[in-house]
Chains A and B, each alone.
Chain A
């Protein structure tokens, strides 16, 4: 009898426990979602503010009580931003530099990574370690001398100066070499037996198998051209070779004080849009590349 009572009581306790646990679990879940959604809103807010500000009239932007949706949608701000900032020209310049440097960079990186992954030569490991060591050095240290070098070469204010100094990235070589190493060596030996040349093997087997890494590199490189600011400002400051970020900064010099923000925000939105489009469609590759680098752009 007593034993039975105890078991019933125990069962009741257990029942209470679980219902209490359920409430706790629900509350935790609620807080987790509330926290995440709040943070997400904070992260998104600047984008939202950029877009609605870009669609407002100047008068509406300056209302002391802000509006959270434009009363009158002004798409003309975008047209004005495009002409004020000369964004078309800047866009073409940046695309040109981005495409050319990406293509050349891919060729150089593939060749170099292949040598490190598949070919044998004296001092291979030492050379590779030396390359990796240079990754520790801040880029500013190179810039000082590169500035003099490109001046002496007469490359100032050309597209060459924006492309050539950054063609080799040790990080990309490292990334691709790791990928190449994962491809079984048997494939290479089989190709050798068949008498396939190294170059043909590289092109027909290695490159297709390493395609995801190559896409990651392409995107990061294009983003790099899109976001580069310091180097172009130093060496190619004329209008004909200006890149988009510099153009944006130069066309809209003032950020504080009395500024025509709607037009400025429209320009910012135009510059940001391609990055978002790329991100939307190629998210997987960007995130894969980024998580291994820590390099912005």
Chain B
């Protein structure tokens, strides 16, 4: 059947996609590797006719940068905090949703809502909720006007208000705000996948457990979680991949400052670092940083896969 005439036809159908992929996907992969190994490569200077030596200087410089280490730390910290929290919360919500009949559709829709939002726009809403208008720490003639709804709630519950994101706020407070926002943002996808997984579990397992009089907790740990483990692995892996590419949620809350006004760049991430390097025309550095990011994502994904190979029941 495979004659040359058909081959020809297939390539015509493929050509638009292939041409675009060659220009905007394949070439960038090759070129990024090339630029990363050319010392101090700069696109602007390259146009001017400059040549660059081959070497691993870009990688060395990137790793030595204090800013880069800071970005790496922020990224890893946010990943380590948000992935477990959002996965466990999503699991609890999905199991609860799966066990009820009334209101299931309504609640399911509500839990999916954060997905269809613009992370910059809703980040601005979170900033409003945490922001203090006026100040309570700085000069004396400044007075607090509103401490923000989150602080209002905290004070109502008997806690002290916290400077979450304003000038003078602590790093821990910033990270808490980011964690809350990222978890809020990450829940819908995880709930959707986990609920889909739960609904496909064969009811017979639960009937058998019922006949045996198995307690609820054992049903959860011995039936639900093992049978859901492929979905859990999927959610954790995509969560880590997304987490390492965190950027726009921070822009949403802190703006392009990537940190409180008195400490610009404090919450910058790996992706932020790459864009900063790109904007200052240091493509060599940017490429090196991007390859490091890719390496980290690859390693973390492989570790996840190894762990899930042992734990996941297919």
B121 CB–A CB distance under 8 Å: yes
Known interface pairs A66-B149, A230-B248, A275-B116; A39-B128 also in contact (CB < 8 Å): no
Is the Cβ of A291 less than 8 Å from the Cβ of B192?
Answer: yes
B112 within 8 A of A: yes
Given A136-B298, A257-B131, A268-B124, A115–B28 Cβ distance below 8 Å?
no
User: Which residues in window 80-102 of B have CB below 8 A to A?
Assistant: 89, 92-93, 96-97, 99-100
Report chain B residues within 8 Å CB of A258.
133-134
A167 pairs with B20, CB closer than 8 A = yes
Query: B145 near A115 (CB under 8 angstroms)?
Result: no
Q: Does A44 reach chain B (CB closer than 8 Å)? A: yes
Contact of A140 among B26, B271, B283 (CB under 8 A): B271
Chain A residue at minimal CB-CB distance from B197:
A291
Q: Which of A6-14, A29-37, A209-217 contacts B (4 or more CB under 8 A)?
A: A29-37
B300 to chain A, nearest CB (A): 12
Binary contact track B203-218/A, C-beta < 8 Å → 1, others 0: 0000000000000100
Bin the interface of chain A by size.
Answer: 35 or more
**Interchain CA distance A290-B112 in the complex, whole Å:** 11
Q: How far is the CA of A50 from the CA of B37 in the complex (A)?
A: 48
Instruction: Chain B residues near A294: list those with CB within 8 A.
Output: 189, 234, 238, 241-242
For residue B129, which residue of chain A has the nearest CB? A49
Instruction: Kindly list chain B residues whose C-beta atoms are within 8 Å of the C-beta of A170.
Output: 21
Contacts of B16 in A (CB 8 A): 107-108, 111-112, 168
Q: Which residues of A contact B131 (CB under 8 A)?
A: 255-257, 259, 261
A283 within 8 A of B: yes
Given A40-B111, A66-B152, A140-B293, CB of A119 within 8 Å of CB of B10: yes
B117 within 8 A of A: yes
Q: Is the interface of B mostly helix, strand, loop or mixed?
A: helix
User: With A121-B10, A121-B11 given, is the CB distance from A141 to B121 under 8 Å?
Assistant: no
User: Contact at B97–A120, with CB atoms within 8 Å?
Assistant: no
A49-B149, A254-B255 known; A287-B124 Cβ under 8 A: no
Quick check: B293 and A138 within 8 Å, CB to CB?
Answer: yes
Which B residue sits closest to A143, measured CB to CB? Answer: B278
Query: How long is the Cα–Cα vector from A65 to B184 in the complex, in angstroms?
Result: 26
Among candidates B32, B293, B294, residue contacting A145 with C-beta atoms closer than 8 Å? B32
A226 (CB) vs chain B CBs: closest residue: B118
Instruction: Write the chain B residue with the least CB distance to A246.
Output: B120
- Name A268-292 residues within 8 Å CB distance of B: 268, 271-272, 275-276, 278-279, 283, 286-287, 290-291
Q: How far is the CA of A28 from the CA of B92 in the complex (A)?
A: 14
Determine which of B14, B107, B253, B255 lies in contact with A112 in the assembled complex, contact meaning CB atoms within 8 Å.
Answer: B14
Interchain Cβ contacts within 8 Å, total number: 285
Which A196-229 residues have C-beta < 8 A from chain B? 198, 223, 226-227, 229
Measured CA separation A61–B149 after assembly (Å): 10
How far apart sit A272 and B116, CA to CA, in the bound complex (Å)? 8
One of B6, B14, B286 near A111 (C-beta < 8 A): B14
Closest chain A residue to B235, Cβ basis: A294
Using Cβ atoms and an 8 Å threshold, which residues of chain B touch A259?
128, 131, 133
Closest to A116 in B: B14
Interface residues of B (CB under 8 A from A): 1-2, 6-7, 9-11, 13-14, 16-18, 20-21, 23-29, 31-32, 35, 43, 89, 92-93, 96-97, 99-100, 103, 107, 109-129, 131, 133-134, 144-147, 149, 152, 165-167, 184, 187, 189, 192-193, 196, 216, 234, 238, 241-242, 244-245, 247-248, 251-256, 260-261, 271, 274-275, 278-279, 283, 286-287, 290-291, 293-294, 297-298, 301
Q: A142-B28, A148-B283, A198-B9 are in contact. List 14 more A-B contacts (CB 8 A).
A: A33-B103, A35-B93, A36-B96, A43-B111, A49-B149, A64-B144, A109-B17, A111-B13, A140-B275, A145-B28, A147-B278, A291-B192, A294-B234, A294-B238
Report, nearest first, the 3 A-B pairs whose CB atoms are least far apart: A145-B28, A255-B127, A294-B238
Show 13 residue pairs from A and B whose CB-CB distance is below 8 angstroms, ordered by the A residue.
A28-B216, A39-B89, A112-B13, A115-B11, A138-B241, A142-B32, A143-B275, A148-B43, A165-B24, A168-B20, A258-B134, A271-B118, A279-B113
